[in-house]
Amino acid sequence: MNESTLLLVEVGALLLGLGFLSRLANRFGFSPIPLYLLAGLAFGDGGAIPLSASEEFFEIGSEIGVILLLAMLGLEYTASELVTNLKRSRAAGITDALLNALPGAAFALLLGWGPVAAVALAGITWVSSSGVIAKVLRDLKRLGNRETPTILSILVIEDLAMAFYLPVLSALVIGAGFLAGATALVIAVLVVSAILFLALRYGRVISALFAPHHAESLLLGVLGLTMLVAGFAQQVSVSAAVGAFLVGIALSGPVAHNARQLLSPLRDLFAAVFFVFFGLATDPSDIIPVLVPATFLAVLTMSTKTLTGYRAAARAGIGVPGRWRTGFTLIPRGEFSIVIAGLAVSAGVEPQLAPLATAYVLITVISGPLLARLPEARWFRSAIGRQAASEFARRKAA
């Protein structure tokens, strides 16, 4: 079988298999991300049936997947919403960073991986998965709940923080040193601030470049602008993903709404390719030595993320049941964690970071949606009721 024929067979068979896995995940109401990672592990180096001809295809597809994931994330927000959320929930964002990034950094240092790996692992344990959490909120019919704005505010702050974090990490992983890292941060701040300013002042003008009700031109135009800005962003060391995120923020109104609908299938396709490629690049045998550390780290940061959500909801005046729902819903890590790990591993920072991140994401992305259902259990509602009554009595006595 020649190279091009083998490529078609491998890509076709794997995509067909991913389609079945996605249907299976949807049937049982959980995210397909862990299944995509497992598929990549099964067909990568050291897997059951290693793929060779299609590896380059999946590598390019994974880069497009990251760009589309972040562009779609940006389309969910307007610049004004971003600024409002930043002002309203900055205390919750700082608490989130301290409680969830520091354990990852400390863990990497304890393992002797060095400061750069510590910065990478801090990001992996810090950022929750917006995609998985949005699906959990939809599946459990909680989009209209009182605690949902608090959850979304924390996710917005995390996503915006990544616009500054990723360029700095990019500079660090290539060994550019403190000066280059500081320069990357300054450039990131200037670029992000400039795009946010343009989006706030001239968002309608940018959106007017596209015809919102002409599907073909809208799809090609938005996709072209996203790729173009992502490429320029990468050229100035800001990160292609961040550039795509900012394009999404700059678009608003009917253009953003219709672009979300048109790009969703493409996003899902290339996002699946992205997770598969990360699995392909990880040898399953490397996961076994890091399984215990990954489990310990997952349990620790699932607890700190639950505490983050609980405290943020309490500060927003939400009752005890809503606080627990907030904390448990924020647990899953996903796309950003894999992006960060992939960036670090591709630069040769620490070989064990990829298997650790894979195991960590698998544990949190499976445990999170299951724990999010816990507040609906009768025994848990009873315990929450006792906690709420005790808190009310304490306030009354005070």
Per-residue confidence (pLDDT) for residue 379, from 0 to 100: 83
Any domain includes 216? yes
Neighbouring C-beta atoms of residue 63, cutoff 10 Å = 19
pLDDT per residue as tens digits for the range 231-250: 887 776 666 777 787 788 78
Q: Tell me whether residue 7 is in a domain.
A: no
d(CA 177, CA 382): 54
Of the chain, the percentage scoring pLDDT greater than 70 comes to 89
Q: Report which listed range, 182-186, 301-305, 320-324, is most confident.
A: 301-305
Chain segment 106-160, per-residue pLDDT in tens: 999 999 998 889 999 999 999 998 778 877 887 788 878 888 888 888 887 887 7
Is residue 156 within 8 Å of 93, Cβ to Cβ?
no
Mean pLDDT of 356-380: 88
The pLDDT of residue 247 is 83
Q: Residue type for 366, please?
A: I
Residue 35 domain-assigned (yes or no): no
Q: CB-hemisphere CA count at 13 Å for 60?
A: 5
* Mean pLDDT score across all residues of the chain: 82
CATH number of the domain encompassing residue 356? 1.20.1530.20
Which residue bears the tokens 């025994």?
379
344 or 78, greater pLDDT: 344
E strand spans, 247-290: none
Q: What pLDDT, on a 0 to 100 scale, did the predictor assign at position 10?
A: 79
Q: How many CB atoms lie within 10 A of CB 296?
A: 11
Over range 36-50, report the average pLDDT: 75
What's the pLDDT tens digit per position in 336-363?
Answer: 888 888 888 877 788 889 899 989 998 9
The number of helices, as runs of H, and strands, as runs of E, in the chain is 17, 0
**What gap in Å lies between CA 119 and CA 128, rounded to an integer?**
16
Distance in angstroms (rounded) separating the CA atoms of residues 113 and 270: 31
Higher pLDDT, 358 or 3: 358
pLDDT band at 329 (very low <50, low <70, confident <90, very high): very high
Specify whether the backbone of 325 is left (phi greater than 0), alpha (psi in -120 to 50) or beta: alpha
Is residue 128 assigned to a domain? yes
Is 23 inside a domain boundary?
no
339 located within any domain:
yes
In this prediction, residue 181 has a pLDDT band, given cuts at 50, 70 and 90, of: low
In this prediction, residue 126 carries a pLDDT of 95
Number of domains in the chain: 1
CA-only gyration radius of the chain, Å:
21
- Contact assessment for residue 332 and residue 129, using Cβ atoms and an 8 Å cutoff: yes
Do 300 and 100 meet the contact criterion of CB atoms below 8 Å apart?
no
User: Which pLDDT belongs to residue 53?
Assistant: 59
Alpha-carbon gap, residue 182 to 162, rounded angstroms: 16
**Rounded distance between C-alpha atoms, residue 67 and residue 62, angstroms:** 9
Report, as an integer, the average pLDDT of 314-339: 89
pLDDT classification of 392: cutoffs 50, 70, 90: low
C-alpha separations of 175 from 41, 116, 117, 347 in Å: 29, 9, 12, 9
Residues spanned by the domain of 269: 54-397
Higher pLDDT, 164 or 290: 290
For residue 28, being part of any structural domain is answered with no
Q: Check whether 292 has a pLDDT greater than 90.
A: yes
Whether 78 is in a domain gets the answer: yes
Kindly report the pTM of this predicted structure: 0.78
